[in-house]
Structure 1
């Protein structure tokens, strides 16, 4: 009997991105992006200058991560080690270890579906300049006092981003499956 060509299709898009058992799901992203202009309430435009968070991060070790700026929805806290923040060339980078609460699980599900994927932050501007020679006026934030970052459904800055961190084990499984699929595909095409 002649060998028949067979085809197998594996849909890797349906692989779950849940954290490993016992490991809390994490969210990472940028709560603020430097030099990204936005319009604030149709009143003025705003830009955050590189370095705006450096002093706040060195002085404040108690920043919270919230959902939609709601202080009843705490997702993480730098003081407890469940929120880490750093400023890099792009902006204010963060990582949150989500709590095993209904809020944490619901947010993870909404993010996995792609419904929520952006951020915001709560602050007081401690150093800023205004340019009233342009319409609308332009506010440039040079330094802030940071008190919270938020995963939000509607951000002020569209360039912000938030994503669930896939566990290393899942990434390795996906990579192995892709290699296996390509190997099988190569054999079948011979």
Structure 2
């Protein structure tokens, strides 16, 4: 697992008995996920599901059994901006996992965000730059975004995942298996 620093992390504040979260997952920030493996998200990479008003969840540690908010419930708002994906959420601490998350965040233990998404065929470009492989994600279906302990991106701190150039390991030249591109 890889992780980055604490730059641009999840922010939390209490106001009028409610807990509000805000964060921005940055576009255009390249990061090294593993030696020789780099990744960057192009501006508006998550636009499709966000602008379509699809249901997207805010989770704890990518665990669907520990939801904090959702667009369908009306307590999660996402905006796809030129500089990044902005999230704002109101968290009800009446569930044990939400109360645990808030306590862990206040203690400085959970500070990052990590999107859970799928890249469909043609939604990314993987290229070699000398000895490195760089993946640029242009279009991805966002299903959830999580508050995480161990982030990979220094600017937004997202969870690392295993990936390689799919063409190099598939038996059929040019075949693409979109489910191999899930990040969780």
Give the TM-score of the pair, scaled to structure 1. 0.68
- Equivalent positions of 1:15-164 (< 5 A) are 18-21=14-17, 24-30=18-24, 32-42=25-35, 44-99=37-92, 100-126=94-120, 127-160=123-156
**CA shift at 1:19, angstroms?**
2.9
1:85-127: per-residue Cα shift (whole Å, max 9, x none)?
A: 0111321110121122121122112222322211000011131
Q: Aligned partners of 1:61, 1:105: CA distance in 2, in Å?
A: 27
**CA shift at 1:56, angstroms?**
2.2
Which secondary structure state, in structure 1, belongs to the residue aligned with residue 16 of structure 2?
coil
**CA shift at 1:43, angstroms?**
6.0
Give the unaligned 5+ runs of structure 1.
Answer: 1-16, 162-190
From the two aligned structures, give the one with the greater helix fraction. Answer: 1
Which secondary structure state, in structure 2, belongs to the residue aligned with residue 81 of structure 1?
coil
Q: Which has the larger radius of gyration?
A: 1
Determine the structure 2 residue equivalent to 1:6: none
Determine the structure 2 residue equivalent to 1:173: none
Determine the structure 2 residue equivalent to 1:179: none
1:49-81: per-residue Cα shift (whole Å, max 9, x none)?
A: 111111221225200111111111111111111
Change (3 A) 1:135 1:56: farther
Q: Aligned partners of 1:68, 1:41: CA distance in 2, in Å?
A: 21
Give the unaligned 5+ runs of structure 2.
Answer: 1-12, 158-184
**CA shift at 1:159, angstroms?**
0.6
Aligned length: 142
Q: Aligned partners of 1:89, 1:58: CA distance in 2, in Å?
A: 14
Change (3 A) 1:109 1:39: same
Q: Aligned partners of 1:33, 1:115: CA distance in 2, in Å?
A: 21
